[in-house]
Amino acid sequence: MLVKETGLKGCFVIEPKVFGDSRGSFFEVFNQKIFTEKTGLKVDFVQDNQSISQRGVLRGLHLQTGEFAQAKLVRVIKGKVLDVAVDVRKGSPTFGKHFSIELTGENNKQLFVPRGFLHGFATLEDNTIFSYKCDNYYNPNAEAGVIYNDKELDVDWKIDLDKVTLSEKDKKLNTFTEFLQVI
């Protein structure tokens, strides 16, 4: 398992070693021992989530606040997304900066998103299956977020934003400036 830190402290890209033969392929999705050795972090995942989305669906940018903050390990089982993490840890040298990566069912890359980061993704292919592990349980009262098209964050989602599909909740998210006043 190859683990590389992104330009955002504590945010890592994980590339598993894939073993293939005439039967197909096998890879270890996550190994706590190797992850801890390479990052210095110990994460205990307690909840797994999965979504299926069509091309043009955008989910995010979300996070859980306070005692319900979550670290996530995200990956694509089938299809393709542009995955985005935004550092909103006050005092962080990369505060307000974002990292994006294409995660696909083909490349098997994963992104570890630490607590204190907004997270979201745009679906780049139909019938994309997105999976993520969380180190804390979801609490709807602790949810916060930033609107996907915030001018200050200026994320290039790699999709036509005039045709984006959003949940009603995501259409009403705060701007980054508004978000900073409520967290």
Supply the residues annotated as catalytic: 62, 132
Residue 136: other Cβ atoms inside 10 A: 18
Tokens (6 digits) for 89: 């840890």
Tokens (6 digits) for 103: 């995660």
Tokens (6 digits) for 163: 């045709």
**In this structure, which amino acid lies at residue 181?**
Q
Closest-CA residue to 46 (of 138, 140, 145): 138
Dihedrals phi, psi of 146, to nearest 5 degrees: -130, 140
